[in-house]
Amino acid sequence: MAIIRDVDCEDRRLRPYSGMTDGQLKRGEGFRRDNPQGLFIGESARVIERALDAGVRPVSLLVDDRWLEHDRAIVERVQSEHPDAAVFLVTPEQHHALTGYEVVRGALACFERPVPRSADEVLRDARRVVVLEDVTNYANMGAIFRSAAALGWDAVLVSPSCHDPYYRRCARVSMGAVFQVPWARLDGDADWAPSWLPRLQEAGFSCMALALRDESVGLRGLRDDAPDRLAVVLGTEGDGLRDSTIAACDCTIRIPMAHDVDSLNVAACAAIVLWELGR
């Protein structure tokens, strides 16, 4: 499709960029095509490229004309691989009116959400798995996905109450890693662990909970004795893991710290643990 330059900001196709929340996009409110999974917005060239690399189908691109040359490769790729996707070229004033952004960091893309993967699917060939419980900070979740990709972990499982990895800020912070690392959302209620962790153990995974407990084993030295199939379970930023989750794990581990520091940000913890226990 040729670039659409004479843009009407009231065009219905621009609604995903203007005033729709991540949740509304996920539900496809008033904008669902033939995909019942809904939509999401990808922000920045790296996120868009990695979504395209993963085979995610774009609906449209929104490009501020000041960034056209910078994002020319993305525009041409979308036009070549997905000729039915609309490419809207807007003025800075139109871009601000639609998105509310004062500062532009490149193209935005509206994508159709992929069909969710099942936990069994992402675990089938995995040896190193991150399990997240109730992580509700987009930046932390995005950073954990980025660490998982960079440090060679195979999959991420998210509990029913975790935020959505495809939400705009999470995907941006991950630098598109949410499209590189297979992930699945676990079904069930908030107390997911007593039913799910035994399934991981039956599949041969040793489940290690990261928690500040007297019986926790220090992380140093575990690398040499790490099992072949390992699932590390990380909790929410404030309260950490539920007691029922810790009880369902095989052991509890902790990061040794100095100067009376008792905890680290969950994303920082993840980076340390994933490096230390990676293959």
Which tens digit of pLDDT belongs to each residue from 103-117?
667 899 999 999 999
The percent of residues above 70 in pLDDT, for the chain, comes to: 92
Sequence-ordered list of residues with C-beta below 8 angstroms from that of 224, at least 6 positions apart, any chain:
none
Based on C-alpha coordinates, what's the Rg of the chain?
21
Residue 213 — very low, low, confident or very high, per pLDDT cuts 50/70/90?
A: confident
Q: Say if residue 106 is exposed, middle or buried (CB neighbours under 10 Å; 0-12, 13-18, 19+).
A: middle
The pLDDT value recorded for residue 250 is 92
Domain 12-112 listed as CATH 3.30.1330.30: yes
Report the pLDDT value the prediction gives residue 123, as an integer from 0 to 100: 96
Q: For residue 191, which of 150, 133, 138, 142 has the smallest C-alpha distance?
A: 133
pLDDT in tens, 20-68: 888 899 887 766 666 678 999 999 999 999 999 999 999 999 999 888 9
Residue whose token pair is 């581990």: 253
pLDDT tier at 101 (50, 70, 90 boundaries)?
Answer: confident
Q: Tokens 């095989």 appear where?
A: 250
| Lookup: tokens for 144 | 């954990």
pLDDT of 240 reads 83
| Whether residue 261 has pLDDT greater than 70 | no
Are 127 and 279 in contact by the 8 Å Cβ rule? The answer is yes
* C-alpha to C-alpha distance for 32 and 49, rounded to whole angstroms: 23
Question: Minimal CA–CA distance to 267: which of 119, 129, 132?
Answer: 132
User: Looking at the domain that runs over 119-277, which CATH code has it been given?
Assistant: 3.40.1280.10
CB count in 10 Å sphere of residue 125: 9
Q: How high is the mean pLDDT of the chain?
A: 89
Are the C-beta atoms of 197 and 232 separated by less than 8 Å?
no
Residue 225's φ and ψ, nearest 5 degrees, are -110, 10
pLDDT of residue 103: 62
Residue 272: pLDDT above 70? yes
Span 223-238, pLDDT tens digits: 667 788 999 999 987 7
Query: Burial code of 168-201, b = ≥16 C-beta within 10 A, e = fewer?
Result: bebbbbbbbbbbbbbbbbbeeeeebbeebbeebb
- pLDDT for position 201: 96
Domains of the chain by residue range: 12-112, 119-277
pLDDT level of residue 239 (50, 70, 90 thresholds): confident
Q: Distance (Å, rounded) from C-alpha 155 to C-alpha 128?
A: 7
- β pairing state of 108-112 and 39-43: antiparallel
Please give the structure tokens belonging to residue 219: 């992380």
In this prediction the pTM is 0.91
71 pLDDT tier (thresholds 50, 70, 90): very high
Helix segments in the chain, DSSP class H: 22-27, 45-53, 72-81, 92-99, 119-123, 138-150, 168-173, 193-202, 243-248, 266-277
**Token pair for 102:** 């004062």
pLDDT in tens, 126-183: 999 999 999 999 999 999 999 999 999 999 999 999 999 999 999 999 999 999 999 9
